[in-house]
Amino acid sequence: MQIRKVETILTCPGRNYLIVKITTEDGIIGYGDATLNGREMAVKAALEEHLAKYLIGLDAGRITDIWELVYRGTYWRGGPVLMTALAGIDMALWDIKGKRYQIPVYQMLGGKCRDRLRAYYHVHGHTREALAERIRQRMADGCTCFRYSFDTKDSRKEDQYFNQPHQDISLGKRIEVTEENIKMPEVWDTGEYCRDLIAVTAYLRDTFGSKIDLIHDSHERFTPIQAAAAAKRLEPYHLMFLEDPVEPVYTEGLELIRHHSVTPIGMGELYNSIKDCLIPIEKHLIDYLRIDISHYGGITPSWKTAVMAEQHAVRIAFHGPSDISPLAHAALAHVDFAIPNFGIQEWVDYNEELNRIFHTDLHYADGYITLGDRPGLGVEVDEEAAKEYAYQSKFLPVLRDREGAVHNW
Ligand code: KDG
Ligand code: MG
């Protein structure tokens, strides 16, 4: 199982995805996801120019040793670019090991703890009625948990509202923009947002009662005291969790939120290492850990962190948006199935192009995800199809407040 080749595949079936492909001397191929949206070329260069040569000739089965080698053996460590590159390598090695021994990754992590994973979808509405309608449509497919977002009443009055290149209204997501739109302003006003957040949440609870669970993502846009106030005011509406209320550096801010409110807290898509979540987990400042398997170094550290979180009654709700590839969704699902403290899984629909490239062993139906028993990650990658979708240079949009100052993303 000596590593012969480490390659990357960059493809854009709608969004850009970076795949790591590792081939062993005996011809086993493993794939991993190394997608970091808006920074694809930086990760690609880290892999091809700086990391690949360390791996050639090593035993692909020594996953932990290779993880340590790349993480701290090569000195520069941490941060989203390097941890995403490492995640791609790590996932590809788990894929190789599973294929070598003909077992799925979840079997190597102790086997399944559950038969299916409860999933949630994003829903967005430019009015609260439109939001409720979107939820009803999804409920018809069996989904019972929603991460809701909305446009503030005031932002709807702004001229550029219906021409927002940075917002995919149907997906309810801020998305990458092309170069010509890079300077287009996206205005943010925390006061308006906070006022509307409480009103929209009350409306949804009133409309749907306890038939659905609700998650709201604040995307680190609050200061700690603003977050504490919002969490307190949201208490009557029983969120499953309030996501990323503050920036990861404000660990004490999480204490402040806890001090004032019992609204459950989810955190983690910006964490890059176990050290980032150590205190939040140990002090039980969070209830759901939302690390991103592709930006956190892969399966190896995510699984270790999940085990640690279990000791503190923190549940895992991996970040699972459309800006990481189905390879990442497969990797996180293998971990989800193998841990007792699984919470819930963020889920997305794949477009036709994506389905042409990635053939996963994951199946969504009636609000739940199931996983088959193909070896490794269980994802077949059609490299010829991937070549048909050339990389497109795209940029993350920027938020500015009403004075024109940069605001948290
Ligand atoms: O590119 C950033 C996205 O991954 C992020 O905005 C999605 O916050 C997100 C979520 O919870 O899915
Ligand atoms: Mg989020």
Q: Which fold has domain 117-375?
A: TIM Barrel (3.20.20)
The domain 3-104 having CATH identifier 3.40.50.300: the answer here is no
- pLDDT score of 238: 98
> What is the pLDDT at residue 186?
79
269 an active-site residue? yes
State yes or no: is 243 an active-site residue: yes
Give the Å distance between the CA of 173 and the centre of ligand 2.
10
- Would you say 235 and 166 are in contact if contact means Cβ atoms under 8 Å apart? no
**Ligand 1 atom nearest 290 alpha carbon:** 11
**Residues paired with residue 123 on neighbouring β-strands, in sequence order:** 148
Supply the pLDDT for residue 164. Answer: 59
Site to substitute for ligand 1 among 123, 168, 271, 319, most atoms within 8 A of C-beta: 319
Q: For position 296, what pLDDT does the model report?
A: 98
- Give residue for tokens 């360390």: 54
Pocket flag, ligand 1, residue 319 (CB < 6 Å)? yes
321 lines ligand 1 (CB under 6 A): yes
Q: How far apart are CA 226 and CA 65, in angstroms?
A: 43
Rounded CA separation 109/293 (Å) = 15
What per-residue confidence (pLDDT) applies to 158?
A: 62
**Residue owning the nearest CA to atom 8 of ligand 1:** 219
In whole angstroms, what is the distance from residue 266 CA to residue 263 CA? 10
Within 8 A by CB and 6+ apart from 130, the residues are none
Q: How many CB atoms lie within 10 A of CB 48?
A: 14
Place of tokens 């794939």: 31
| Domain boundaries along the sequence of the chain | 3-104, 117-375
For the question of residue 219 being annotated catalytic, the response is yes
**116 flagged as catalytic:** no
Lowest-pLDDT choice from 57-61, 186-190, 337-341, 389-393: 186-190
Q: For position 398, what pLDDT does the model report? A: 86
403 is a catalytic site residue? no
**Structure tokens given for 406:** 């940069």
pLDDT in tens, 284-302: 999 999 999 999 999 999 9
Across the range 240-269, mean pLDDT stands at 97
Q: Determine whether the shortest distance from the Cβ of 220 to ligand 1 is under 6 A.
A: no
Does pLDDT of 97 surpass 60? Answer: yes
pLDDT at 329 over 60: yes
* Ligand closest to the CA atom of residue 323: 1
User: If you measure from the C-alpha of residue 6 to the centroid of ligand 2, how many angstroms do you get, rounded to a whole number?
Assistant: 31
- Of 205, 219, 238, 312, which residue is the catalytic one? 219
Our answer to whether residue 147 is catalytic in this structure is yes
Q: Which residues contact 62 (CB under 8 A, 6 or more apart)?
A: none
Closest ligand to C-alpha of residue 395 is 1
Task: State in Å: Cα 342 to ligand 1 middle.
Answer: 20
Average pLDDT over residues 61-71: 98
As a whole number of angstroms, the distance between CA 318 and CA 330 comes to: 12
Among 5-19, 161-175, 228-242, 259-273, name the one with the lowest average pLDDT.
161-175
Contact 389, 12 (CB under 8 A): yes
Fold: same for 3-104 and 117-375: no
Three-state secondary-structure class, residue 330: helix
pLDDT digits (tens, 9 = 90+) for 158-175: 655 545 566 665 555 667
Q: Is the CB of 216 under 6 A from ligand 1?
A: no
* 285: helix, strand or coil: coil
Going 11 to 185 to 290 to 369, the CA torsion angle's sign is negative
Among protein residues, the one with the nearest Cα to ligand 1's atom 10 is 321
- When pLDDT is averaged across residues 69-83 and rounded to a whole number, the result is 97
SS (H, E, C) 107-156: HHCCCCCCCCEEEEEEEEECCHHHHHHHHHHHHHCCCCEEEEEECCHHHH
Give the pLDDT score at 70.
98
Atom of ligand 1 nearest to the CA of 219: 8
pLDDT the model gives residue 130: 93
Tell me what pLDDT residue 297 has.
98
For a mutational test of ligand 1's pocket, the pick from 121, 145, 269, i.e. the residue with the most ligand atoms closer than 8 A to its C-beta, is: 269
Residue 390 CA to ligand 1 centre (angstroms)? 23
Tell me what pLDDT residue 176 has.
80
355: CB partners within 8 A, 6+ apart: none
Q: How large is the average pLDDT for residues 85-109? A: 98
CA of 93 from ligand 2 middle (Å) equals 27
